[in-house]
């Protein structure tokens, strides 16, 4: 009779350890998932700037500055044209204001 209760106690002890191990794994998996999601959300770019969207545009290096409606000076009209064709450029209605730097007087 004593032998049966010892076997039962060992079985209960093993089940308890397995239960604890499963709970620890679930908790670790949950924490890892939360950290991963937060990392993706916090480090994702909010909005691309115009220059990063212009990567495929090929313009010459001739420096003839033009001022645009976003009050930024572009090195030439080709670069400004590329910027106007980006999603951000279209969204803000980017266009040429004048020849020369934006902070120069006409």
pLDDT of 97 over the 90 cut: yes
| pLDDT at 5 (0 to 100) | 60
| pLDDT at 54 (0 to 100) | 62
| pLDDT at 91 (0 to 100) | 87
| pLDDT at 38 (0 to 100) | 85
96: nearest Cα among 59, 69, 60, 57: 69
The per-residue pLDDT for range 6-31, each reduced to its tens digit, is 667 677 666 666 777 788 888 899 99
CA dist., res. 49 & res. 61, Å (int): 21
- Extract the runs of DSSP E, i.e. beta strands, from the chain: 66-68, 73-74, 96-99
CA dist., res. 77 & res. 99, Å (int): 9
pLDDT of 62 over the 80 cut: yes
CA dist., res. 31 & res. 77, Å (int): 51
């Amino acid at each position: 009779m004593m032998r049966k209760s010892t076997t039962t106690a060992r079985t209960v002890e093993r089940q308890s350890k397995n239960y604890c191990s499963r709970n620890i794994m679930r908790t670790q998996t949950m924490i890892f998932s939360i950290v991963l999601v937060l990392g993706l959300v916090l480090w994702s770019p909010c909005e691309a700037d115009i220059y990063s969207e212009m990567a495929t545009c090929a313009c010459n290096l001739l420096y003839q500055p033009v001022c645009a409606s976003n009050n930024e000076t572009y090195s030439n009209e080709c670069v400004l044209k590329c910027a106007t064709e980006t999603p951000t450029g279209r969204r803000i209605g980017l266009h040429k204001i004048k020849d020369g730097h934006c902070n120069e007087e006409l």
